[in-house]
Amino acid sequence: MRAVVVALGKIGLPLAAQIARAGHEVVGCDIDPAVVDAVNAGEPPFPGEAGLAEALQETVGAGRLRASTRTTDAVAAGPDLVVAVPPLAVDRRARPVWRALDAAIRAIGDGLQPGTTVSVETTVPLHTTRSRLAPLLEQASGLIAERHFHLVFSPERVYSGRVFRDLATYPKLVGGLSAAGEARAVELYRAFLDAEVWSMGSAEAAELAKLAETTYRDVNIAFANELARIADDHGLDVARAIEGANSQPFSHIHQPGVAVGGHCIPVYPRFLLAGAPDARLPRVAREINEAMPGYAVDLLGEVAGRRVLVLGVTYRGGVKETAFSGALALRDELQARGAEEVLGHDPLLSDAELEALDFLPWHGEPVDAAIVQADHREYADLGPEDLPAQAIVDGRGVLDAERFAGRVKRLGRP
């Protein structure tokens, strides 16, 4: 098989290496020349992906994987499969900003040849594959979908950092615009994946599956957050209650937390809701989760005129990503309630990066109050001498609360 993978990011590059490692010939395309140069040198352009360096050395070294900035030329060579994983940016309200995805699809369309199967893996709102991407490919190529080329949607479901492991274990979901196209794509995916490949019946079914699995997590976390607030009202321990509930096999309650952040979980329920104006549960779950930073500030007490520290500005521990981070919502909430200063600390961010996000960098000086927003491993070791604050809310349950002699409030814990 000959394949082209478009967008060599945290997801696309391991996928390209996976296809090449299965013995196929792959061209990986990216608009960033630095990414292309690194890949052609056999080096990962980003850190943290287990097994990627070895996979690149093996496949680039053997000449089965090469990178290029020329997507249209690579597609014009007539590969069997084109896999597209470009980013889909969103605005502050999690609405799609289509520019990058459209540009990548047009570049593919400009080179598209009869007989090629195109698979889009970027998470999209319902009907995007059929109603937006197919027409873009047809306009650019002059070809007709399902007559001259196939288009399928196959959501990327892996977790960055362990992509190869997830590719080997999670079923690959494939949904086409036609039964023939779907069958052809299933056959092509089976040629390089050890995991099961599932035929979903339509592109829309595959789109919905991805939105469902991410929205499930948001709804589940919202339920855990609601339980935490009930536990607070009744002086009960939510952690023990969830542990108890989950001790039989029908209960899978997640953990409460000060915020749901990152590129995926706060965003994809909004994609789902955009096509489902009458849906209620995901909307309520979003409202509950978006209210949690405000609830955490409530637990701190009066903040007007106080200096308040946010510990952990990335959206979660160990990941340098601030998209939709709860720290930003906490910052806004604290500013709106008249905090004198909002300080920030994060082991993954420099002072300049904190300042760019409107946090005053904190270097251990006493503050009036603090909220732990991200579960960075470093925070588990903090004691009262490292964190001199009158009131502390641990929004992730990472601090050793006993060391703080009653000054730490955890969500849903007496």
Ligand X SMILES: NC(=O)c1ccc[n+]([C@@H]2O[C@H](COP(=O)([O-])OP(=O)(O)OC[C@H]3O[C@@H](n4cnc5c(N)ncnc54)[C@H](O)[C@@H]3O)[C@@H](O)[C@H]2O)c1
Among positions 40, 72, 160, 178, the unique one binding ligand X when judged by CB under 6 A: 160
- Per rule CB under 6 A, is residue 11 in the interface with ligand X? yes
- Per rule CB under 6 A, is residue 381 in the interface with ligand X? no
Cα separation, 414 vs 408, in Å, equals 10
- Per rule CB under 6 A, is residue 227 in the interface with ligand X? no
Among positions 1, 2, 22, 31, the unique one binding ligand X when judged by CB under 6 A: 31
Bridge pairing between strands 408-410 and 81-84? unpaired
Nearest residue to the partner ligand X, using Cβ: 9
Alpha helices in 246-371 (DSSP H): 268-274, 281-300, 326-336, 351-356
Residues 117-156 that bind ligand X (CB under 6 A): 122-123, 156
Quote the least distance from Cβ 402 to ligand X, whole Å: 35
Which H or E element spans position 174?
strand 172-176
Bridge pairing between strands 367-372 and 197-199? unpaired
Tracing tokens 């957050």 back to the chain, one arrives at 225
Cα separation, 366 vs 352, in Å, equals 21
Torsion of CA 17, 47, 376, 329, to 10 degrees: -80
Catalytic annotation on 172? no
Residues 48-107 that bind ligand X (CB under 6 A): 71, 85-88, 100, 103-104
Q: Which stretch binds ligand X (CB under 6 A): 8-16, 167-175, 225-233, 326-334?
A: 8-16
Report the residue number, 252 or 320, with the smaller CB distance to ligand X.
Answer: 320
Quote the least distance from Cβ 398 to ligand X, whole Å: 22
CB atoms within 10 A of CB 151: 27
Catalytic annotation on 210? yes
Cα separation, 47 vs 156, in Å, equals 20
- Are the beta carbons of 256 and 224 closer than 8 angstroms? yes
Quote the least distance from Cβ 363 to ligand X, whole Å: 31
Among positions 10, 172, 254, 409, the unique one binding ligand X when judged by CB under 6 A: 10
Quote the least distance from Cβ 162 to ligand X, whole Å: 10
Cα separation, 388 vs 366, in Å, equals 5
Residues that bind ligand X (CB under 6 A): 6-12, 29-32, 35, 71, 85-88, 100, 103-104, 122-123, 156, 158-160
Catalytic residues: 210, 264
